[in-house]
Structure 1
């Protein structure tokens, strides 16, 4: 696996690559995550002889900070530049990355996206947390959170615990190396407040989900049945909105199936890529 610096849409970032054959598989991570979430998938793809690249989205991992302004446009402009650089590609995303991937695929009319795979896509969630996030900006609340006199050590302990409970599925043991990257994302109260503030901003930028999205390539929707962040019914609703899409619910997986079951995720990616090749 190669780790290197790259630049897309004027944003300096880090990417993880494995070499192989076939259309490159581009992997987009979720909110407050990084390319490190795909290491298990990348290793399995390398073993299968497939080329792939995982990137840090703007403001996450080791990427440059985001610019002022709307978050959604920045994520999508960046991801579109990745696709242009590597295309044609199989585009895979988790959570925020899934929402971004789906929209990039829907706008693609040049055949640069041959298939799109969405893992635990979040924008059609209608549970209480989604409703609360879209209600208001909570500026004062996040200012208060950022100023709370809680030590960095306590914050980092809480982040490790939260990742194990809310990101992994029940019964899966959190990878210590991945927990280190999670702490890097939220090392203190100021970072916690910033992550919360931007999560609300992103939710408010997308109050009705996707609107009309009609990808012309094959679409696979994957969702962990044990996801404690986004209910599986959001995936079922997305499936209903996209005629011809396929839905797979992984019974034991949580919000990040690529962490819980990387080999199963790779199997689904390769099957979808093969189907897209037959259609082409």
Structure 2
């Protein structure tokens, strides 16, 4: 196990309703390889559950995490975190030396966001605000280690409507076209959010697609070893570019 810290740091951005604890496997593995890893909580999630979620606030949270890691980083995000990582790189090119965006190859159309909003309103009307359903899904779609990690920081059950409203106003394809750094778009083969991956790959000036066999939307949790390998390979490539 390496004990020195070298190369570009990695900043990890979680998905909707989860928190920075979902990245435990990646943080442990990256640090074992001597790579600094910083997982953050977005507004409305984890340790920031009392803060209202906005897209601008999410991008600012990534900006602050990168500043704290030295000012430049490979930014890795899953789902909401992937969209946020892309938006951050478009707005702060001086900070993003690379982007790994997973589970976010679908443009947030009005129809899609509206459907999710109706479902979110239904859960919000339940006595437990959908906690039991959420717990059931976590236990049945994730391996035990992933379920423990994602639950460790608690679930932000009240943030969904704010997130959907904000995401519905974003344009990740336009953001991708502005990203100067290399982009890795990572999707599980069975991910329902990979409907437009060819458009997303084509939108970015320097993009490559990684599809993980057998994995679903939560690819970093259901295939942690394979996902971490992608992140390590991306970090090595941006290091070579910086040195070359």
Is TM more than 0.5 here? Answer: yes
Corresponding position: 1:133 with 2:104: no
- Residues 1:101 and 1:177: Cα distance change in structure 2 (over 3 Å): same
**Displacement of 1:43:** 1.3
Give the structure-2-normalised TM-score.
0.83
Structure 2, unaligned runs of 5 or more:
none
Partner residue, 1:258: 220
1:235-259, CA deviations, whole angstroms, 9 ceiling, x for partnerless residues? 3321121132110000111112211
- Residues 1:277 and 1:180: Cα distance change in structure 2 (over 3 Å): closer
Corresponding position: 1:105 with 2:89: yes
C-alpha separation between the residues in 2 aligned to 1:109 and 1:155?
38
C-alpha separation between the residues in 1 aligned to 2:115 and 2:39?
33
1:64-114, CA deviations, whole angstroms, 9 ceiling, x for partnerless residues? 5224xx71111112211222222221111111111111121123343x221
C-alpha separation between the residues in 1 aligned to 2:174 and 2:115?
19
From 238, 258, 263, the equivalent of 2:200 is: 238
SS of corresponding position for 1:27: strand
Structure number with the higher strand fraction is: 1
Partner residue, 1:71: 54
Say how many residue pairs are matched: 238
**Displacement of 1:173:** 4.8
From 65, 73, 84, the equivalent of 2:67 is: 84
Partners of 1:222 and 1:235 within 8 A in 2: no
CA radius of gyration, larger in: 1
From 227, 230, 236, the equivalent of 1:268 is: 230
Partners of 1:120 and 1:235 within 8 A in 2: no
C-alpha separation between the residues in 1 aligned to 2:195 and 2:184?
15
**Displacement of 1:274:** 1.6
Deviates more, 1:241-250 or 1:115-124: 115-124
**Displacement of 1:225:** 1.1
C-alpha separation between the residues in 1 aligned to 2:108 and 2:161?
19
- Root mean square deviation, CA, Å: 2.9
**Displacement of 1:179:** 5.6
C-alpha separation between the residues in 1 aligned to 2:203 and 2:35?
31
Corresponding position: 1:158 with 2:133: yes
- Residues 1:240 and 1:210: Cα distance change in structure 2 (over 3 Å): closer
1:123-148, CA deviations, whole angstroms, 9 ceiling, x for partnerless residues? 5256xxx624247976xx83x75444
Structure 1, unaligned runs of 5 or more:
1-17
SS of corresponding position for 1:272: helix
